[in-house]
Amino acid sequence: SYVLTQAPSVSVAPGQTASITCEGNDIGSESVHWYQQKPGQAPVLVVYDDRDRPSGIPDRFSGFNSGNTATLTIDSVEAGVEADYYCQVWDRSGDHPVFGGGTKLTVL
């Protein structure tokens, strides 16, 4: 089964840019999707198909995918984006989703 690896935590100062990575074998050939989950809440899709944003998601969220690493970037970080972030791809052979382990973003 396909494995996605995320760093457990990332810390960033307010106003700076946060980069959250998701590693997988040739992940650049897959469509990667990202979810934000705040404490006690359900996950929310923030980026799909590597770089597209659903309606209502601010443009401070962006994504890139190439090689063995996909990256979610959050510009001008503020306390409101502090959350867990999960990447996800679809395992085509098994026809099921695969999630990364999640990265906790802390705003210092």
Out of 10, 43, 62, 64, the only residue in the binding site for another protein (CB under 8 A) is 43
What is each CA distance from 79 to 22, 69, 107, in whole angstroms? 22, 26, 6
Q: Is the Cβ of residue 16 or residue 68 nearer to another protein in the bound state?
A: 68
- Least distance from another protein to the Cβ atom of residue 48, Å: 5
Restricting to residues 46-85, name those near another protein by CB under 8 A: 48-49, 54
Q: What is the residue type of 36?
A: Q
DSSP letter string, 5-34: B--SEEEE-TTS-EEEEEE-TTGGGS--EE
> Binding segment for another protein among 10-18, 58-66, 69-77, 97-105 (CB under 8 A)?
97-105
**In the block, residue with structure tokens 């995918």:** 65
Length of the chain: 108
Interface ranges with another protein (CB under 8 A): 30-31, 33, 35, 41-45, 48-49, 54, 86, 88-90, 92, 94-102
